[in-house]
Amino acid sequence: MERRKVDILCVQETRWKGSKARSIGAGFKLNYYGVDSQRNGVGVVLKDEFVRNVLEVKRVLDRVMSLKLEIEGVMLNVVSGYAPQVGCELGEKERFWSELDEVMESIPMGERVVIGADFNGHVGGENTGDEEVMGKFGVKERNLEGQMVVDFARRMDMAVVNTYFQKREEHRVTYKSGGRRTQKLRQALGGQVVLPDDWETTAEVIRETGRKVLGVSSGRRKEDKETWWWNEEVQDSIQRKRLAKKKWDMDRTEENRQEYKESQCRVKREVSKAKQKAYGELYTRLDTREGEKDLYRLARQRDRDGKDVQQVRVIKDRDGRVLTSEESVQRRWKEYFEELMNEENEREKRVEGVNSVEQKVDKIRKDEVRKALKRMKSGKAVGPDDIPVEVWKCLGEAAVEFLTSLFNRVLESERMPEEWRRSVLVPIFKNKGDVHSCSNYRGIKLMSHTMKLWERVVEARLRKVVEICEQQYGFMPRKSTTDAIFALRILMEKYRDGQRELHCVFVYLEKAYDRVPREELWYCMRKSGVAEKYVRVVQDMYERSRTVVRCAVGQTEEFKVEVGLHQGSALSPFLFAIVMDQLSEEVRQESPWTMMFADDIVICSESREQVEESLESWRFALERRGMKVSRSKTEYKCVNETEGSGTVRLQGEEVNKVQEFKYLGSTVQSNGECGKEVKKRVQAGWNGWRKVSGVLCDRKISARIKGKVYKTVVSLAMLYGLETVSLRKRQESELEAAELKMLRFSLGV
């Protein structure tokens, strides 16, 4: 307001609960009204010199309020309004306009009225027939809400004043989303209520608009640059210093030397001032709700900056030789993942068939799309189509209508857009083994966000018809890793108390997601009772899929993917659960004797012979269908072991026998103790603390923000799984001592 020289400002969507007036600094006072801290709220900001002129404040509802001022003998009524958005219920819209009409009718004739409101509508650029209430510089086509604004202006003999002045396209509407510059996207699209029918046209319109209005990011935040705090004063001072240095080099007089020294001092002062101002603004932003995401980004960035090696630019070939050239590194990544994602394990071809479920499926409904859209997280890396889910979120009901129509066309034709078949594969280090070995990386695919929306809609429907066995804990509603860990610990505890042997085998599958045969997936879906329509839809998702590998030295050439499930897909976890459910149908026992968390399998039995027999049954059931049980990573553990209990064999090979096993991230010991788990939890806490120490040890960040970061990063890591064990006093003290030490370091005491 200071910069624009604004004395009175109407604000909307304040989201402040209450009806008060408060000073907001810089000589301004805010009168506001709101009934919910999560939505709506309106207010009027006044310059201090006008505060004493306020005669009356009317707070009608959290969308309408008015102020009456007397300024130099003139009565001025200022009304702040916030109309319901597109998609809100008709009753809510009618109530808003009814209340606004009553406010206007209560103002005596002869008094002046100014309405500053976010009407959430577009009156359009065509004013034929409406010249007395609007100009010709509106936003493209008029929508229903815009027509309500025009009707209101005609009814009250007022004018939509911002349509009388020609302004840039992106300055004509008031919409603002929560995420950086994405708020510009909606108005740049012209506030279209109806998007183009086909995907290709819509996608190109969105991309072109994004490039035009938002620009193309380099992928780095300004804080990532060493000179992100530079301003014009610093730039000007450095330029003067360069000229002074040049002048002194040409003529080394005392006067020129003194001028150069003064310019050096001036640069240091300007740099110090610029840094102080920039960091002050940064820390102020971090201490707000909107700055929380930036806080975690800053923590990650400082953690990366503190590492010796931030990017792995060299890799080893299959013979162990180190590759250094960019071309050879790219070629190796492509070779590794192309082989991984296109070669099946040996398996028996099925000779038996399965009856398909031919039934009519319902059309996709808008509420299904809304639910899927709500479940999608913002701020995630985009796929090759460069269209983030935030686009659909900021387009609101128009996006829901378009996506519903698009998904119904895909469902009917069983063919999704070709653009969705492409992905970008990013290798993620598993944090174990040789960092230069490709086999120690997990490939995560960056896929089209719109395709992920489509997958979520399909997944929600599949979950309604497919019943997964109770032994499966992974990605199932109301089940978690904690439940599986607790069930295993309780089972072991009961057998220790009864002084009886319990034999457990932890089965490890090699490259489980990447090696699922597609034919087995279709068979398992049909056997689970999935309608043939959905089977063909999922088949289409995997047909002609292609990907590239994005590594530290660039992107590889594109290659096809014909085996396995998509890592990073929204639908893949449930598809994998269907496969495991069907393949284990004849060999699994009741829980907790058999427990699965996706591809983590635990088999328990009272005798070594029984557990060995069960292991062989599992191996046969899985390997005959293309899955592979790892001989080196599958492990065996015995509770209350007696002499001569022996070990377990798998096809003649001894299975590795252990006294402890890390199950779903929690260390389970044969003797029932939890001392090692507590030590590992403390270590995990310190690892988490070190990752965010760049924030926790920064004295300029408030204790409140540090506490929030500590709880969400450090405490969660340190306490994971401990609700399933009984801690001794000594172990509790060990955890408390570690926590106090971390907190003292964080607060500098």
Q: Answer whether residue 363 is part of any domain.
A: no
- The tokens for 354 are 């399965």
pLDDT of residue 175: 44
Instruction: CATH number of the domain at 31, please.
Output: 3.60.10.10
Q: Answer whether residue 342 is part of any domain.
A: yes
Q: Are residues 665 and 679 in the same domain?
A: no
User: Is residue 39 helix, strand or coil?
Assistant: coil
Q: What is the dihedral of CA 377, 382, 385, 386, to 10 degrees?
A: 100
Average pLDDT, the chain: 87
pLDDT of residue 39: 81
Q: Answer whether residue 721 is part of any domain.
A: yes
The burial class, CB within 10 Å (0-12 / 13-18 / 19+), for 525 is buried
Residue with tokens 């800053």: 298
Confidence of residue 194 (pLDDT cuts 50, 70, 90): very low
For the segment 419-456, what is each residue's pLDDT rounded down to a tens digit?
A: 999 999 999 988 888 889 999 999 999 999 999 999 99
Residue 494 has φ and ψ, to the nearest 5°, of -60, -40
Confidence of residue 184 (pLDDT cuts 50, 70, 90): very low
For the segment 461-481, what is each residue's pLDDT rounded down to a tens digit?
A: 999 999 999 999 998 998 999
Q: Are residues 699 and 619 in the same domain?
A: no
**Residue 601 scores a pLDDT above 60:** yes
- Greatest mean pLDDT range, 46-60, 125-139, 147-161, 595-609: 595-609
pLDDT of residue 671: 87
pLDDT of residue 685: 94
Q: Answer whether residue 283 is part of any domain.
A: yes
Alpha helices, DSSP H, located in 549-674:
572-583, 608-623
Q: Are residues 600 and 546 in the same domain?
A: yes
Pairing, β 74-82 against β 112-118: parallel
Q: Are residues 572 and 615 in the same domain?
A: yes
CA distance 465 to 463: 6
**Residue 638 scores a pLDDT above 90:** yes
Residue 170 has φ and ψ, to the nearest 5°, of -75, -5
Confidence of residue 91 (pLDDT cuts 50, 70, 90): confident
Confidence of residue 310 (pLDDT cuts 50, 70, 90): low
Pick from 480, 483, 461: nearest CA to 411:
461
pLDDT of residue 314: 87
For the segment 264-275, what is each residue's pLDDT rounded down to a tens digit?
A: 999 999 888 887
Q: Do 120 and 86 meet the contact criterion of CB atoms below 8 Å apart?
A: yes
Distance of CA 628 to the CA centre of its chain: 33
Mean of pLDDT values over 225-240:
77
Q: What is the DSSP string of 468-500?
A: --TTB-TT-TT--HHHHHHHHHHHHHHHHHTT-
pLDDT of residue 171: 56
Final residue of a domain: which of 646, 669, 692?
A: 669
pLDDT of residue 137: 81
Final residue of a domain: which of 625, 650, 669?
A: 669
For the segment 393-426, what is each residue's pLDDT rounded down to a tens digit?
A: 988 898 999 999 999 999 999 999 999 999 999 9
**Residue 220 scores a pLDDT above 60:** no
For the chain, how many structural domains are there in total?
4
Confidence of residue 486 (pLDDT cuts 50, 70, 90): very high
Q: Answer whether residue 187 is part of any domain.
A: no
**Residue 746 scores a pLDDT above 80:** yes
Confidence of residue 644 (pLDDT cuts 50, 70, 90): low
Final residue of a domain: which of 119, 148, 178?
A: 178
pLDDT of residue 626: 93
Pick from 668, 692, 690, 671: nearest CA to 680:
668
40/736: higher pLDDT: 736
pLDDT of residue 191: 42
Confidence of residue 223 (pLDDT cuts 50, 70, 90): very low
Angle at 38 between CA 221 and CA 1, to 5 degrees: 60
User: Is residue 557 helix, strand or coil?
Assistant: coil
Q: Could you list the residue range(s) of the whole structural domain that residue 62 is in?
A: 8-178
**Residue 749 scores a pLDDT above 70:** yes
pLDDT of residue 290: 65
- SS3 of 265-276: HHHHHHHHHHHH
Q: Are residues 492 and 465 in the same domain?
A: yes
Q: Are residues 615 and 691 in the same domain?
A: no
Ramachandran bin of 640, using left for φ above 0, alpha for ψ from -120 to 50, beta for the remaining angles: left
CA distance 22 to 24: 6
Q: Are residues 61 and 77 in the same domain?
A: yes
Q: Are residues 637 and 697 in the same domain?
A: no
pLDDT of residue 72: 83
Confidence of residue 304 (pLDDT cuts 50, 70, 90): low
**Residue 189 scores a pLDDT above 70:** no
Q: Are residues 638 and 684 in the same domain?
A: no
**Residue 527 scores a pLDDT above 90:** yes
Q: Are residues 135 and 257 in the same domain?
A: no
Q: Answer whether residue 188 is part of any domain.
A: no
Confidence of residue 185 (pLDDT cuts 50, 70, 90): very low
For the segment 127-162, what is each residue's pLDDT rounded down to a tens digit?
A: 788 888 888 887 767 888 888 888 888 888 888 888
Q: Are residues 581 and 505 in the same domain?
A: yes
For the segment 690-739, what is each residue's pLDDT rounded down to a tens digit?
A: 888 888 888 888 888 888 889 888 999 999 999 999 899 999 999 999 99
**Residue 511 scores a pLDDT above 70:** yes
pLDDT of residue 307: 55
Q: Answer whether residue 516 is part of any domain.
A: yes
For the segment 329-358, what is each residue's pLDDT rounded down to a tens digit?
A: 999 999 999 999 999 999 998 877 788 898
**Residue 173 scores a pLDDT above 60:** no
Q: Are residues 275 and 330 in the same domain?
A: no
**Residue 390 scores a pLDDT above 70:** yes
- Greatest mean pLDDT range, 178-192, 211-225, 592-606: 592-606
Q: Find all residues with CB under 8 Å of 436, minimum gap 6, and list them.
A: 312, 314, 315, 316, 322
Pick from 81, 159, 167: nearest CA to 123:
159
Q: Answer whether residue 565 is part of any domain.
A: yes
pLDDT of residue 541: 95
